[in-house]
Structure 1
Amino acid sequence: MPHVFPVKDLETDRLRLEVFNREKHIPLYWAALSTAPETNRYMPFLAIDSLEAAFAWYDRTFTNDTSGSRALWATYDLSSSSSAPVFAGVIGLLNSSAENLMTEIGFVTTFPSFQRTHVNTHACGLLLKYCLGDLKLRRVQWQAHADNGPSRRAAERLGFKFEGIARWQRVLPADREGHKRPGDEERPGRHSVVLAVCWDDWEEPGFQEALQAKMDRRA
């Protein structure tokens, strides 16, 4: 089902978000993930351990999504000295609601060579600009495993405001890190950090300029 909001390629001078194509991007995604499986340490789905599993995850999560609430982009670094864009990760939207004019940035995967660079800032910044600026949504949410400090800090650097901890929000697959409930040792649970940027944050004087300054920073 098409996403509830229009989905298109987005770009800055140093990064491009390309609407995800199953046949083109899954092999790139698996090739990168297979050498750095720890990148998906806190993802709330079964570990992806083969190309076939990567295709199955994509189909389960996106192809067969009947809600239209999820979308995915491939992230390409454009800053390399080579002429060709370099695949750097993926980023997406989930829990999107046209009725409530909200969405959530998720599926954020930036592979090791591109961590602590401009990639995550530009990818998230592009989605914030598109969702709050172009689409005029009221709320863009960010949720993360409560133990995933880097994810929370990344969101706060971009201007997301901490709203609280949703305790025992998710039941995780058995192979994922989480908290255990006595008698249910095979199904760990997740406490989730909830942050958001809302329309009034976006329109607050200086917010957009601060975000753009972070995207413009070269070091």
Structure 2
Amino acid sequence: MPEEYNAHGQPVGAPMPGWTPRPLPGPVTLDGRYCRLEPLDAARHAADLFAAYATAPDDRGWTYLAYGPFADEAAFRAHAEAMAASTDPRHFAVIALGTGKAVGTLSLMRQDAANGVVEVGWVTFSPLLQRSPASTEAQFLLMRYAFDTLGCRRYEWKCDSLNGPSRKAALRLGFRFEGIFRQAVVYKGRNRDTAWYSIVDGEWPRLRRAFENWLEPGNFDADGRQHHPLAAFRGA
């Protein structure tokens, strides 16, 4: 981006004529081809979510989350009730259209309306959702809502720097790595160095086309396996 200069000859950021604060995320329903995102409701979703998370062979999926695992459904329901009552983070349940059941959650958090910035977080996908077209589509639906509906300028992803799968997922989805914030968080009695990633609005049109092309039914075989990876469409 070319530099701008003020009257003193100092470089300054590009002007933002007409900029206004962005709307905050609301309790919307977002429909896709393979899944639907709807506002988290413990009464409707907690039982399905607990059952979906219970299909995991062990508790490793909770290691890098600030919450969980949960001893029983009652404990998870209390957690889901607290999540559902929150507006920042704003939590969504991922509904698999094939079964109509909730199979994961994710949220929009650290909502900065003044600057048009929001973070996707609290991503808790069960084995019934992981590595499926619906998993990627859930991320795409929330990203599209942030950029195309709310008009955000910046969309963030942050995770424990030791969380290899999360860092790999961020890059696969088109986020750019920005660095490590050392000793940023204490959770579960241990330190977290936080890896930061982002997508900005100028990158979004190309990424949106890549997601749309990847999600076309012709890109998958009868068992839901992709013919071409998302990165291939992003490169095209």
So what's the TM-score if we normalise by structure 2?
0.75
Whether 2:69 is the aligned partner of 1:69: answer no
Of 195, 198, 210, 1:196 maps to 198
Whether 2:230 is the aligned partner of 1:211: answer no
State the distance in 2 between where 1:33 and 1:189 align. 26
Alignment of 1:16-165 (within 5 A): 16-36=36-56, 37-63=59-85, 65=86, 68-78=87-97, 80=98, 84-165=99-180
State the secondary structure of the residue aligned to 2:215.
helix
Q: Percent identity?
A: 28
Letter paired with 2:198 = A
Deviating 4+ runs (over 4 angstroms): 59-62
Gaps of 5+ in 2: 1-22, 221-225, 227-236
Checking the alignment, whether the CA contact within 8 Å between 1:125 and 1:215 is kept in structure 2 is no
Letter paired with 2:112 = S
Counterpart in the other structure of 1:184: none
Q: CA RMSD in A?
A: 2.0
State the distance in 2 between where 1:27 and 1:86 align. 10
Deviation at 1:35, TM superposition (A): 3.8
Return 109-118 or 125-134, whichever deviates more. 109-118
Letter paired with 1:39 = G
Letter paired with 2:115 = N
Return 53-62 or 131-140, whichever deviates more. 53-62
Counterpart in the other structure of 2:20: none
Gaps of 5+ in 1: 174-186
State the secondary structure of the residue aligned to 1:54.
helix
Letter paired with 2:142 = L
Q: Which has the larger radius of gyration?
A: 2
So what's the TM-score if we normalise by structure 1?
0.80
